[in-house]
Chain A
Amino acid sequence: DAGITQSPRHKVTETGTPVTLRCHQTENHRYMYWYRQDPGHGLRLIHYSYGVKDTDKGEVSDGYSVSRSKTEDFLLTLESATSSQTSVYFCATLDGTKNIQYFGAGTRLSVL
């Protein structure tokens, strides 16, 4: 357990509204990741960060942006939510010493 907290845990929103999901870690890990999990697709990487203010795109980044102003916080923003973004979102951090990724409990997002 790498002390990862995701908030909110559940959210229901309407199409077209902006949504921000938060990931907070207590382990001072440099690398952080956002994945989404969907039936039939498994887990896919949205964006990741390799340090404060250093971020890059993953496999399914369209419609998402991220920010990392502090080591402990990594925010995922849906600029204008669409129904296709209904998913379970997981944040992860990398223990660079062990090369193990640890995951948060997830945020279940429904876009109506």
Chain B
Amino acid sequence: KQEVTQIPAALSVPEGENLVLNCSFTDSAIYNLQWFRQDPGKGLTSLLLIQSSQREQTSGRLNASLDKSSGRSTLYIAASQPGDSATYLCAQPGANSKLTFGKGITLSVRP
């Protein structure tokens, strides 16, 4: 059974800090990994999808990496802003692209 783990569950940082959010997965046969953002009471917004053939994927201040051998993905947020405060979830697809989610990391960026 696929398992996806995100630790810690919550993180608080001052504005301007560069930070890394971690995601661990058990299924080494991963073919891609998707990062989402969820604001309180809202749905999920897709941030980045990184294919297993890629090592990194970038969108603005966000950079995601994927290391199949270690079973880890990281989401790097540069120069964090209060508007980045949200819950960040990673998810690994299985057969028929059914997603297995981590429980998320709730990020708070203090002004």
Chain A residues within CB distance 8 Å of chain B: 31, 33, 35, 40-45, 48, 50, 56, 58, 90, 92, 94, 98-106
**Can you pick out 17 interface pairs between chain A and chain B where the beta carbons lie within 8 Å of each other?**
A33-B98, A35-B99, A40-B103, A41-B103, A42-B89, A42-B101, A43-B99, A44-B101, A45-B98, A45-B99, A50-B96, A99-B51, A100-B49, A101-B93, A102-B46, A103-B43, A103-B46
Chain B residues within CB distance 8 Å of chain A: 32, 34, 36, 42-46, 49, 51, 89, 91, 93, 96-99, 101-104
User: A15 vs B99: C-alpha distance in the bound complex, in angstroms?
Assistant: 29
Q: A90-B44, A99-B51, A100-B49 are in contact. List 10 more A-B contacts (CB 8 A).
A: A42-B103, A43-B99, A45-B99, A58-B98, A90-B43, A92-B99, A101-B91, A101-B97, A104-B43, A106-B42
